[in-house]
Structure 1
Amino acid sequence: MDISVVIPLFNEVESLPELTSWISQVMYTHQFSYEIILVDDGSTDGSWEMICQLREANEAIRGIKFRRNYGKSAALNTGFEAAQGNVIITMDADLQDSPDEIPELYRRIIEEKYDLVSGWKAKRYDPLSKTLPTRLFNAATRKMSGIHNLHDFNCGLKAYRKAVVKNIEVYGEMHRYIPVIAKWAGFTKIGEQVVEHRARKYGTTKFGMSRFINGFLDLLSIFFVGKFGKRPMHFFGTMGVISFLLGMVMAIWIITEKLIHIAHNEHYRDATDQPLFYLALVAIILGSQLFLTGFVAELVARSSHDRNKYQIEATV
């Protein structure tokens, strides 16, 4: 099978007939073998009933229904597990992504050998309350991930080589950082394509300010897990040793200064009367706790079932 189109959706019943018809027309025109995987993330507006009707009319359509709303990341991860195509295309169900972009995305994966091609909606029709947080996240993600050639990490329209989606896990709000997850998994050939952003035709946006906070926390999680997931002692231990040594230096300074004044028979205030004493004490305690945290985290990592699970591209 050439292409799997994975579409997570929540209360998008009005757009589904037009969207699936448009995708099918594009596939027929370019003679692609395909499947459309519609993942219903706990919709309450009749979306599942519509999916069942569309399935009866087109066998290329497959439906997956969650018992409740789990979020876009869960829907994408489930769709990835079900996908059978050599190239997986993801897009939103609200008709703001154009299926006409699919052939070029497919070509770049197959002919230019990209692992992942992410869409960039250079001209957007979203309100400022949505575009401003997106720009801030994109700037922060570029800085932390080192993927400097992507302008829009959160664009729903993306193309993946099959090996990518079968070797990554998406959860929480991490769908917006899939290029970062792919990079940490060893899929480093990541490209970008300018795509059309269409104004929403049906329904209302599901964007909320809670995603701003969750997205930031998930960015920190990805950075930490990707860099230190298999060696947490390198993170906590380093911070702990630095804090402990800093505290010891301050403590030695206080003691040395006290001894010098005693040797010269000079009056000197007690060590506990100095703010530096308490800073040294806090630094030593904090350093010890960080080191122990790293030690415990290392034990947990070593006992994990996937502690020796690594991405292998090929064998001979």
Structure 2
Amino acid sequence: MQLSIVIPLLNERESLDELYRWLATTLESHGFTYELLFIDDGSTDGSWEVIASLADAHQEVKGIRFNRNYGKSQALHAGFDAAAGDVIITMDADLQDSPEEIPELYALIKNEGYDLVSGWKKKRYDSVLSKNLPSKLFNAAARKTSGLQLHDFNCGLKAYKNAVVKNIDVSGEMHRYIPLLAKNAGFANITEKTVKHQPRKYGETKFGADRFIKGFLDLLTIWFITYFAKRPMHLFGALGGIMFIIGFSFAVYLGIDKLFFNTAGRLLTQRPEFYLSLISMVIGVQLFIAGFLGELILRSKNDRKRYLITAKKGFKSA
């Protein structure tokens, strides 16, 4: 199979039939062998019924339904687990991503040898204040922190080699940083392609401006994961050691001063250096313990699925 199209969605009933027809027309006109994986992330508007109907009528359509809304990252994770194509394409279900971009994305992976191709919505049809401006600021920060020179980390239209999606763990809210996760997993041949952005035709966006606040927090998380996920003691142990040495040095100074130079007879508890010393040593020990616990947790990590699937359609085992 050449292509797996992974489409996470939440309450997109109006667009699904039109999206299927658009995808089928485009892919069949180019002679692709393909599957369409619709991941219903807890929709309540009847989206699953549309997916089930499409899967019954078309063997290339497959559906996965979550028992509740877990988020886009978990939907992508489930889609990546199920995908069987040589090249995996991710796109949104709101008709703002054009299936006509898929042949070029596929060619960049298969013919040019890229591991990942990220879409860049250079011209957007979104609100300037609520989405465009925050997106520009977010992407600038992501480029600076990650070292990946991509213009649009948030674009849902991306193409991957099969090996990439099988070797990354998309959890939490990390779907924005899949290129960085791929880079950290050793897939560094990453590029981007300008893609068309369509005006939203049905419904409303599921993401508000608060996603950028979460995005910046996730950026800090992934920065930590990039450099210290496999060695938390290197960060917490180093900080703890520095703090403890500072506190201990103050304590030694106070002890010497008290024994040999304290002619005024001041009590140690009357000196602010005593409390700085005490606090520094306590914080140092706590940071060291945090690093130690992090190492223990890392070594006992149990990778469990983070979602519950209640129904599938179109799979041979279903």
TM-score higher than 0.5: yes
* Counterparts of residues 46-65 of structure 1 (less than 5 Å): 46-65=46-65
Any stretches of 5+ residues in structure 1 without a counterpart?
A: 307-316
**Letter aligned with residue 273 of structure 2:** L
Q: Are 1:83 and 2:80 counterparts?
A: no
Single out whichever of 86-95 and 170-179 deviates more from structure 2: 170-179
**Letter aligned with residue 140 of structure 2:** A
Distance 1:260 1:208 in 2: 65
**Letter aligned with residue 143 of structure 2:** R
Distance 1:256 1:20 in 2: 79
Distance 1:253 1:196 in 2: 67
Residue 257 of structure 1: how far off its partner (Å): 4.6
Over 3 Å counting, the alpha-carbon distance change for 1:267 and 1:222 in structure 2 is same
Task: Name the SS of the counterpart of 1:200 in structure 2.
Answer: coil
- Counterpart in the other structure of 1:187: 187
- Counterpart in the other structure of 2:271: 274
- Counterpart in the other structure of 2:31: 31
Q: Give the number of aligned pairs.
A: 302
Distance 1:240 1:27 in 2: 57
Task: Name the SS of the counterpart of 1:167 in structure 2.
Answer: coil
Single out whichever of 115-124 and 43-52 deviates more from structure 2: 43-52
- Counterpart in the other structure of 1:137: 138
Task: Name the SS of the counterpart of 2:39 in structure 1.
Answer: strand
- Counterpart in the other structure of 2:316: none
- Counterpart in the other structure of 1:314: none
Task: Name the SS of the counterpart of 1:182 in structure 2.
Answer: helix
Q: Are 1:292 and 2:298 counterparts?
A: no
Q: Report the TM-score when normalising by structure 1.
A: 0.89
**Letter aligned with residue 157 of structure 1:** L
Task: Name the SS of the counterpart of 1:5 in structure 2.
Answer: strand
**Letter aligned with residue 135 of structure 1:** K
**Letter aligned with residue 139 of structure 2:** N
If asked which structure has higher relative contact order (CA below 8 Å, sep 6+), I would say 2
**Letter aligned with residue 280 of structure 1:** S
Residue 260 of structure 1: how far off its partner (Å): 6.0
* Aligned residues of 1:243 and 1:283 also touching (Cα < 8 A): yes
- Counterpart in the other structure of 1:244: 244
- Counterpart in the other structure of 1:5: 5
Task: Name the SS of the counterpart of 2:144 in structure 1.
Answer: helix
- Counterpart in the other structure of 1:302: 299
* Aligned residues of 1:6 and 1:83 also touching (Cα < 8 A): yes
* Aligned residues of 2:130 and 2:208 also touching (Cα < 8 A): no
Distance 1:304 1:53 in 2: 40
Distance 1:126 1:34 in 2: 31
What CA deviation, in whole Å up to 9, does each residue of 1:247-288 have, x standing for no partner? 2233334444555634xxx43644333323212211111001
Distance 1:289 1:240 in 2: 7
* Counterparts of residues 226-241 of structure 1 (less than 5 Å): 226-241=226-241
Distance 2:245 2:200 in 1: 57
Q: Report the TM-score when normalising by structure 2.
A: 0.89
Residue 65 of structure 1: how far off its partner (Å): 1.3
Distance 1:36 1:182 in 2: 23
**Letter aligned with residue 140 of structure 1:** A
Task: Name the SS of the counterpart of 1:159 in structure 2.
Answer: strand
Distance 1:237 1:93 in 2: 45
* Aligned residues of 1:130 and 1:207 also touching (Cα < 8 A): no
Over 3 Å counting, the alpha-carbon distance change for 1:152 and 1:260 in structure 2 is farther
**Letter aligned with residue 188 of structure 2:** T
**Letter aligned with residue 294 of structure 1:** G
* Aligned residues of 2:37 and 2:63 also touching (Cα < 8 A): yes
**Letter aligned with residue 240 of structure 1:** G
User: Alignment RMSD, CA only?
Assistant: 1.9
Percent identity over the alignment is 60
Distance 1:8 1:44 in 2: 14
Distance 2:139 2:230 in 1: 26
Task: Name the SS of the counterpart of 1:205 in structure 2.
Answer: coil
Q: Are 1:21 and 2:21 counterparts?
A: yes
Residue 245 of structure 1: how far off its partner (Å): 1.2
Residue 144 of structure 1: how far off its partner (Å): 2.1
- Counterpart in the other structure of 2:121: 121
**Letter aligned with residue 131 of structure 1:** N
Residue 16 of structure 1: how far off its partner (Å): 1.0
* Counterparts of residues 76-225 of structure 1 (less than 5 Å): 76-127=76-127, 128-147=129-148, 149-225=149-225
